[in-house]
Amino acid sequence: MSVIPDSARVCPRCGAPAEAHDFCSACGLRLQSLPELPTRGEWEADLARSSNPRPAAPAVPTTIAPAAAVSSIKPLLHPTERSRLVLAVVAGALAAALVLVVLVAAGAAGVLVPLVVAVGFVLGTIWISQQLLRARLLGRSIRVTDETFPELEALLNEVRDILQYHRRVDVYVVDKASSPIGMSSYLGTRIIVIEGGLVAELLAPAQRPQLVFLIGRSLGALRAKHARLDIVVLLLQMADALKFVSLFISPWYRATAYSGDQIGMMCCSDLFAALEATRRLLVGRELAAELQPGQVLPQALLVQHRLLPRFVQLLSAEPHITNRYANLICFGRYHDPAFWADLRAPMDAAQLAILDQMWQESPHRRRLGDGPTAGWIPTSTG
């Protein structure tokens, strides 16, 4: 067991080294929001003065709680999102420049004015189509308000407060939709559409954290500006240039899917509920609760390592759901080590080995910066 220097900055709750983490790796306390961290010597002195001293490693609940207001969204984003955004922006800018050069070369300088007019027309068309969508939803669904769905409106406000996001978002409940919950954001018009059956099922107290997770994903995507490139992608698609740069833009969209899951998990403060909500995407609502967390791991590892599944994902803007599931588990381990122990308890030796391997290969482990064995828990040989 290593000795912590007296001058090292530590978590004020448990005394673990704080280093550069946003959250304490031992107890999960949000360190980023604290104005100043005590040194180890100060923490030990305070512990000695206390009439009811705290243990060095207090018990931590298996959920990330409480869900406090998020002052910054950055700690909740996937580690690869920023670098992939840079790649996507560079690729999009080069593609746009190439289209512009080709048009100018083909029609001389006189093409610039019509081009600007055409772009303005496209943007206007997008804005009008969003207004038409809103009008269609007003006629074919019910908008969420205090009068129509007070319980759902209260839940939305709760998530808004957690994420500190209070811009206008129109939320509608529909009978059927292409996905259980969907979000669109174009030119200041932000819309979330939720299936009524999903709301009716998940508003029950036992299922409510799953609904918070799903809504947290959508509002979190708005707070993190995950739709910022949608207009650019649409313009490139209309110019028939997207196919040349999609391989460089899609990785960012996949990273935003991981980030959305992580933001949703933090909003609901229930890691098991987030995992069950993700399993719904794999097997449906009826079987999601019956499928144990460890039973998904062998297939998730197979998808991560097999060449063909990786190739299929490379061509898509959406990651495999099994990869999202594995990322949620590792994100939970990064923010709440107690969850890791709770998750491992019912697993057999094979599942434990896969779980540990996933952690070792996860960018969240590398994010800790504690060396190649950071967070390693020896696999039981039973």
Q: Is the peptide bond before 17 cis (omega within 30 degrees of 0)?
A: no
Taking 80 as the threshold, does the pLDDT of residue 285 lie above it? yes
The reported pLDDT for the residue numbered 238 is 83
Give the pLDDT band (50/70/90) at residue 51. Answer: very low
Q: Which residue has the higher pLDDT, 152 or 40?
A: 152
The reported pLDDT for the residue numbered 54 is 37
- Reported as a single tens digit per residue, the pLDDT across 82-130 is 999 999 999 989 988 887 777 777 665 566 677 778 788 888 888 899 8
- Reported as a single tens digit per residue, the pLDDT across 183-195 is 989 888 899 999 9
The reported pLDDT for the residue numbered 220 is 94
- Share of residues in the chain with pLDDT > 70 (%): 82
- Share of residues in the chain with pLDDT > 90 (%): 41
The reported pLDDT for the residue numbered 89 is 93
Taking 90 as the threshold, does the pLDDT of residue 307 lie above it? yes
3 state SS for the chain: CCCCCCCCEECCCCCCECCCCCECCCCCCECCCCCCCCEHHHHHHHHHHCCCCCCCCCCCCCCCCCCCCCCCCHHHCCCCHHHHHHHHHHHHHHHHHHHHHHHHHHHCHHHHHHHHHHHHHHHHHHHHHHHHHHHHHHHHCEECCCCCCHHHHHHHHHHHHHHCCCCCCEEEEECCCCCCEEEEEECCEEEEEEEHHHHHHHCCCCCHHHHHHHHHHHHHHHHCCCCCCHHHHHHHHHCCCHHHHHHHHHHHHHHHHHHHHHHHHHHHCCHHHHHHHHHHHHHCHHHHCCCCHHHHHHHHHHHHHCHHHHHHHHCCCCCCHHHHHHHHHHHHHHHCHHHHHHHHCCCCHHHHHHHHHHHHHCHHHHHHCCCCCCCCCCCCCC
- Reported as a single tens digit per residue, the pLDDT across 216-225 is 999 999 999 9
- Reported as a single tens digit per residue, the pLDDT across 315-340 is 899 999 999 999 999 998 887 777 77
- Reported as a single tens digit per residue, the pLDDT across 5-26 is 777 777 776 777 876 666 666 6
Whose CA is closest to 22, among 37, 8, 43, 7? 37
